[in-house]
Chains A and B, each alone.
Chain A
C-alpha cells in the first residue's frame, strides 16, 4: 500500500457515564493500579506520534492523565461522533486511532492487529462478536473518512457504527481470545460480568458458546414509536434487565430525559424495570396511557 498518513491517537472520555454513576475514565480496572484513562493513553502512545484526550466542553480531566493534549468538543451532534469529528477537523490530514475509555480489555496486541489491518478504506475496525456490526470506538479513521462523517452529520446521522456499516468499513475478525475485548462497561453489573470474563479461575464456569448479547424483539407505542421512527425492531443487547435495555436504547437514540413515565411489558405482561431478560423476549415500551 502507499505511504499511510501519520497516525494520531484519540482517547474518548467525554461520555457521561450516567449508568455507571461515576466517571469511567477515572476508574481503576486493571491490576497495575492505574486509572482506565492512564492505561488507554499509554496504549495509544505506543502506536501514535501524538495523542489527544477528547472531553466535553467544561468537563474535568479524568484522573491519571498527566499533561496530555486535550481536544474539547466543538461539534454539537453529541455522542462519540462529536469527539471524533472535533479531532478530525483539528488535523484533517492525519489518520486517527480512536479508542473509548471504557474498553479495559483492549491491549497492545489488539491494537497491533488493527494497525496491520489498515488498507485504503476510510475506516478500519473490528466486527462485533455480538452482531457483526462495526465497532467504531476502537477503530482507525483515515483522512478520507472526514468528508463522509461530515455528510452524515449534516443529514442528522450521528451513530458512527451505522455510518461505518453504511460506508463499507474494512472489518477485521476479533481473535477468539479477545472475543469480549470490545464490550464496554456501562453499568456496575457489566463491570462485574467483565471481571468474571477476565478471571481465568472462573472463566471455565461460563457455558461455552454463550454470547453476552441477547436478541430481543422490541415494540414501541404512541410518541415513543414516533421518536424512534419505528414500531418494531430486533435488537441484540448485553442488558440484563428491561430497565438497563431502556437506558441503552435512550442513550443510543439520544432521547434521555424525553421519556419519563414509560412503562414496560415483557411477553405481553407488565414488567418492572428489574425484570430479567432472556433471548427471544418481546419487550414493549409504553408511554403514559391516554385512553378514554
Chain B
C-alpha cells in the first residue's frame, strides 16, 4: 500500500498522482476535488491565499493517507495547494483506488475530512469589497481569527 501526500505550489498537477493509484487489481477509483468557491458567508470571494506549515503538514498528511489506506485496504494519495488562488482553482485533491467501489468512496470521504481537520493549512480570503480575512477553523464563521482587515 502506498501513502502519498504533499503540499504543492498552485497550480496542482494531479495526473501523476492519479496514474500512480491505478492498478489492475483495483476496480473502483474515486477522487474528490476541492475548488475555490466564489462566496463565503454571504460575501463574494475574489481571491484566496493558502499557507501551510509545510514540515508538519506533510508529516501529518502522510499519516492520514497511511491510516486510511490501511483501514479500507485502498491505494490513496492527496495533495493540497499553497499560494494565490482564484475562484474555480483546484485547492485540494484526494483519490482512493480499491478492489470495490464501497471502500474507495468511504476512503475518499474520510481522507478529505481528516485533511481539513488535521493538516496545518490556513486560508486567507479577499472579498469583492476589498476587505480580507483569515479563516480560522472550517465552517465556524465568527471564530476568533475571522477578523476583517481593510
Contacts and interface: CB of A to CB of B under 8 A. Distances in A.
Interface stretch (B8-16, B68-76, B101-109, B135-143): B135-143
A222 B138 contact: no
Contacts of A219: 53
Given A259-B144, A261-B143, A287 B116 contact: no
Nearest to B138: A290
Interface string A238-271: 0000000000000000000011110101001110
Given A221-B120, A289-B137, A292-B34, A268 B144 contact: no
A290 B59 contact: no
A230 B62 CA distance: 29
B119 A261 contact: no
- Interface size on A, as a range, is 20 to 34
Given A223-B134, A270-B56, A291-B52, A286 B120 contact: yes
Nearest to B7: A291
A75 B53 CA distance: 39
Contacts, number: 92
Given A290-B135, A291-B116, A222 B56 contact: no
Contact of A288 (B51, B52, B59, B136): B136
A291 B56 contact: no
Contacts of B145: 222-224, 287-288
A290 B122 contact: yes
B119 A289 contact: yes
Given A222-B136, A223-B147, A287-B134, A265 B118 contact: no
Interface in A275-290: 284, 286-290
A288 B140 contact: yes
B147 A289 contact: no
Contact of B56 (A223, A260, A265, A287): A265
A270 B53 CA distance: 12
Contacts of B50: 291
B88 to A, nearest CB: 16
A226 B148 CA distance: 12
B116 A289 contact: yes
Contact of B92 (A221, A286, A287, A292): A292
B77 interface: no
B55 interface: yes
25 contacts: A222-B122, A222-B136, A223-B145, A223-B147, A226-B149, A265-B56, A268-B55, A284-B53, A286-B53, A286-B120, A287-B136, A287-B137, A287-B144, A288-B137, A289-B118, A289-B119, A289-B121, A289-B122, A290-B122, A290-B134, A290-B138, A291-B123, A292-B91, A292-B115, A292-B116
Interface of B: 34, 50-53, 55-56, 59-60, 80, 91-92, 112, 115-124, 134-138, 140, 143-145, 147, 149
Interface of A: 219, 221-224, 226, 258-261, 263, 265, 268-270, 284, 286-292
